[in-house]
A = this chain, B = another copy of it.
């Protein structure tokens, strides 16, 4: 099992969800995050004073999947999140050793979906 973590632009969240649903990946968790990458920040002005904001708003997705779903998930995220511009984000794939469905106590690959 793997845990796939992706940082994407907030406005692409819906498209990514759609792309995942198309591939029958229905379960995911989302957190708001701030990211700092190749995308430079922007400059704001308040009462004549400039302020550099170098963390951009991002969404962090966490999706637990079985091994044979990894490629499809990556594909789906790329499909939904890619705009071709800097700041599109990253996907990290982490190994996962165990997964538990709290409701039933089920473990392992069946618990994930």
Contact = CB atoms under 8 A, between A and B. Distances in A.
Interface of A: 2-3, 5-8, 17, 26-38, 55, 58, 60, 62, 64, 70, 74, 77-78, 81-103, 105, 111-112
A29 to B, nearest CB: 5
For the complex formed by this chain, how many copies does it contain in all? 3
B100 A91 contact: yes
A86 B97 CA distance: 23
A31 B84 CA distance: 25
A13 B81 CA distance: 28
Contact of A29 (B34, B64, B91, B103): B34
A96 B97 contact: no
